Amino acid sequence: MPLNDPAAIVAEIRQRFQEKGNEMYAGEAISQTEHALQAAFAAEQAGESAELIVAALLHDIGHLLHKHAEDCASQGI
């Protein structure tokens, strides 16, 4: 993915959410996508900038990038 192509970056992020966004978030009763949207909504409601809203939306994007179990850090991964 070219890092200077905004459309390609957005497409990659969209694909990640489509592939793994329905997985549960850290054992909670919400999905990865729901958690991301809640964080972005909270930032928006707080009157934060567009950049901070996007940062809130993507703050856990790493959870969508790997195939390891949620507790992988405790396993040394």
Task: Decide if 1 is inside a domain.
Answer: no
Which domain covers residue 15, as residue numbers? 6-75
Task: Decide if 38 is inside a domain.
Answer: yes
Task: Decide if 19 is inside a domain.
Answer: yes
Q: What is the pLDDT of residue 63?
A: 85
| The total number of structural domains that make up the chain | 1
36: Cβ contacts below 8 Å, ≥ 6 apart: 17, 21, 56, 57, 58, 59, 60
**What are the pLDDT tens digits along the chain (77 aa)?**
677 899 999 999 999 999 999 988 877 899 999 999 999 999 999 999 999 999 999 999 988 887 665 655 555 55
